[in-house]
């Protein structure tokens, strides 16, 4: 049986993030694994080609990162009370950031939500979870939101 020592829980602060966190928490508790919770803020590099001054983009990303860090602190305190959790906030392309963090921490498992998009939404928005599953060096648990 494989040993799970380090779990990466990737969240996006959507209404489904608490469900993803609950799965990661249950797995961490049952295995004694270290838990890292990651939010990857979107990258705005693609807007450099629109002659948007770099300082404007840096200010925007800085504000997003500050807000995300505050939100992460609150999320971790609420969802993982009394548990040692490493919160991480990064900026970039979410799938790449998740895979990079998993590799850096030598994750044994990634827990990530999937929005279950289909049709045009899937074509337009893509799937971070699918990109992670296809490229991950370690197992990935995808958590599909429950039907309302």
* Residue percentage of the chain with pLDDT more than 70: 82
* Chosen CATH of 6-143 out of 3.40.50.1820, 3.40.50.620, 2.40.30.60, 2.40.50.140: 3.40.50.620
Q: Tokens 């799937």 sit at which residue?
A: 127
Which is more confident, 147 or 102? 102
Tell me: the pLDDT tens digits for 45-56?
A: 655 666 666 676
Tell me: the pLDDT tens digits for 24-45?
A: 999 999 999 999 999 998 776 6
Please state, in angstroms and as integers, the Cα–Cα distance from residue 143 to each residue in 16, 82, 136, 138, following that order: 9, 24, 16, 16
In 42-132 the beta strands, taken as DSSP E runs, fall at 85-91, 109-113
Domain ranges of the chain: 6-143
- 71 closest CA partner among 113, 37, 98: 37
Q: Which residues are CB-neighbours of 34 under 8 A, at least 6 positions away?
A: 5, 6, 7, 28, 84, 86
Query: pLDDT band for position 116 (50/70/90)?
Result: low
């Amino acid at each position: 049986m494989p040993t799970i020592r380090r779990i990466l829980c990737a969240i996006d602060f959507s209404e489904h993030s608490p469900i993803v966190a609950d799965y990661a928490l249950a797995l961490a508790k049952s295995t004694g694994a270290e838990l890292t919770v990651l939010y990857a803020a979107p990258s705005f590099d693609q807007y450099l080609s629109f002659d948007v001054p770099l300082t404007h983009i840096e200010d925007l990303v800085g504000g997003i990162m500050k807000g995300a860090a505050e939100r992460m602190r609150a999320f971790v305190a609420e969802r993982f009370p009394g548990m040692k959790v490493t919160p991480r906030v990064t900026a970039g392309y979410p799938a790449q950031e998740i895979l990079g963090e998993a590799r850096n921490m030598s994750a044994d498992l990634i827990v990530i939500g999937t929005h279950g998009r289909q049709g045009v939404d899937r074509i337009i928005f893509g799937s971070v979870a699918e990109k992670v599953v296809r490229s991950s060096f370690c197992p990935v648990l995808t958590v599909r939101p429950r039907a309302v």
